[in-house]
């Protein structure tokens, strides 16, 4: 049986739950992964497996575990949990060599996937390709391998204990000042609801949680905080309760969305400026990694504060690997993946990022005697940009389209054709074009059949002109390909 090759993506494995990730395919992937790991780390390997709340995740996790055990992997089953809790299991359990999280993250409800980490490093690109090739050899795998052991374990209590211990200062702050910060949280019926109320209770916060019951049918809205429509209920609740801020999470709780007390969305690159300001006070010259979708104001702010700003490819796994290479203390994406090497394990954890944000608010709020997020974050630069825009484009042509667009833009830069003045073209991931008074980005999504675009300029008029120019080229190239 041949597995759909398109499910093997740059950062992880993702596909339609029924058509692509049926039991036979997932079991073969599990067997292939176990064989790969044993070839590198020896016969005695222990892995943790977690799953999100999607309706098909229990079935996929069961098939994955069967495949892994068929080829000798010992399994500790975490059951329903958050992606960062799955990462936490490897970071804190000595015998665990890797972990696999069954999650569709922010993809539509009918999709699912596998996020894989080995020896603290995300399995990406070349290793994903090796896994794809290995899955085609499944019929030749040995059948006399001893079946791996199986154990169900509870990991969330240890995770909560860890966070409570790490953030004792917040607990003491709330006790001393009678919990002055009031927040609204929207878990989007994802896995954040498994731990967020518990840790906020332990630390003594005043809060209200919307949609905290995990439900893979997503009855209220889709759990993707990068889409403004999904933040409507949160913004209404923040204003109605006169709360100081609102926080939102994606389905597996590795991405954070924030709205201020006025209902304004605070994107991931703006949050990175806040985190960077605190870290660089204590660690000048620290490296900070951010993806190509982030605002130029972020890179300028990091440099202005004495840090080393590194622009890199979009993708949680790609960012984590770059972070390790550069020994960065902080990294992040515009989409809300936030990675802390400072005081933490270096992976994306939206619950942890929330508590780090509350630390900043507690300290500055005391100084200015105001805990409204808009006041605490009043130093953030004013910018004119778009959110992350998505343009439907089939997987089969999206990368070719970006390649052709890049060629067209280089040609424009050389004076062939009418276009705004182009100062630079950055090709780290897709194409980021630097104009006189702004920039535009077009890249192929690693997880969905879409192009991802973002634009930034000095004013709204220029922003519209740059966006119109780039979109004209995108549509022109697409017509040529079709």
Q: Which residues are annotated as catalytic?
A: 14, 105, 337
**φ and ψ at 400, to 5 degrees?**
-65, -40
- Segments in 9-137 forming alpha helices (H): 23-41, 57-70, 83-92, 126-135
Sequence-ordered list of residues with C-beta below 8 angstroms from that of 286, at least 6 positions apart, any chain:
279, 280, 307, 308, 328, 329, 330, 342
**φ and ψ at 228, to 5 degrees?**
-55, -35
Tokens of 294: 């982030």
Which helix (H) or strand (E) segment holds residue 122: the answer is strand 121-122
Query: Residue written as tokens 């590795």?
Result: 254
Q: Return the bridge partners of 80, or none.
A: 51
- What percent of the chain is helix, strand and coil (3-state, nearest 5)? 45, 20, 35
Which helix (H) or strand (E) segment holds residue 478: the answer is helix 460-481
Which helix (H) or strand (E) segment holds residue 266: the answer is strand 265-266
8-state DSSP, 230: G
Query: Packing angle between helix 156-166 and helix 83-92, nearest 10 degrees?
Result: 80
Q: Return the bridge partners of 439, or none.
A: 434, 456
Say how far apart CA 450 and CA 111 lie, in whole Å.
15
Q: Are 48 and 146 in contact (CB under 8 A)?
A: no
Say how far apart CA 73 and CA 80 lie, in whole Å.
20
């Amino acid at each position: 049986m041949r597995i759909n090759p398109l499910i093997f993506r740059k950062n992880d494995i993702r596909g339609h739950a029924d058509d692509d990730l049926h039991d036979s395919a997932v079991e073969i992937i599990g067997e292939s992964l176990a064989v790969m790991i044993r070839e590198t780390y020896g016969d005695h390997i222990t892995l943790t497996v977690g799953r999100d709340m999607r309706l098909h995740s229990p079935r996929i996790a069961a098939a994955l575990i069967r495949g892994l055990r068929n080829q000798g992997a010992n399994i500790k089953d975490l059951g329903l949990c958050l992606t960062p809790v799955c990462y936490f299991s490897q970071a804190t359990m000595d015998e665990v060599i890797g972990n696999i999280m069954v999650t569709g993250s922010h993809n539509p409800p009918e999709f699912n996937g596998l996020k894989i980490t080995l020896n603290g490093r995300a399995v990406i690109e070349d290793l994903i390709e090796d896994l794809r090739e290995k899955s085609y050899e499944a019929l030749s795998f040995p059948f006399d391998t001893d079946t791996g052991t199986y154990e169900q374990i509870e990991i969330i209590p240890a995770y909560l204990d860890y966070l409570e211990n790490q953030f004792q200062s917040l607990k003491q702050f709330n006790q001393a000042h009678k919990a002055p910060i009031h927040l609204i949280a929207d878990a989007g019926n994802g896995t954040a609801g498994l731990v967020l109320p518990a840790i906020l209770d332990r630390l003594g916060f005043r809060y209200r949680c919307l949609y905290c019951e995990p439900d893979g049918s997503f009855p209220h809205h889709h759990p993707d905080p990068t889409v403004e429509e999904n933040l409507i209920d949160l913004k209404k609740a923040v204003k109605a309760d006169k709360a100081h801020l609102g926080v939102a999470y994606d389905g597996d709780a590795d991405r954070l969305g924030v709205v201020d007390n006025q209902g304004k969305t605070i994107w991931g690159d703006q949050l990175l400026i806040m985190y960077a300001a605190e870290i660089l006070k204590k660690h000048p010259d620290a490296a900070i990694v951010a993806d190509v979708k982030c605002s130029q104001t972020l890179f300028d702010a990091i440099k202005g504060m004495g840090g080393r700003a590194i622009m890199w490819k979009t993708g949680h796994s790609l960012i984590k690997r770059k972070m390790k290479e550069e020994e960065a203390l902080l990294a992040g994406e515009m989409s809300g993946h936030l990675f802390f090497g400072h005081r933490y394990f270096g992976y994306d954890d939206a619950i942890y990022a929330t508590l780090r944000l509350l630390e900043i608010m507690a300290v500055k709020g005391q100084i200015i005697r105001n805990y409204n997020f808009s006041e605490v974050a009043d130093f953030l630069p004013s910018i004119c940009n778009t959110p992350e825009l998505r343009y439907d484009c089939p997987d089969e042509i999206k990368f070719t389209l970006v390649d052709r667009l890049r060629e067209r833009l280089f040609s424009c830069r050389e004076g062939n054709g009418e276009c705004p003045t182009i100062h630079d073209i950055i090709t780290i991931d897709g194409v980021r074009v630097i104009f006189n008074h702004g920039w535009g980005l077009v890249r192929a999504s690693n997880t969905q059949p879409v192009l991802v675009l973002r634009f930034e300029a000095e004013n709204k008029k220029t922003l519209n002109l740059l966006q119109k120019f780039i979109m004209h080229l995108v549509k022109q190239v697409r017509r040529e390909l079709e």
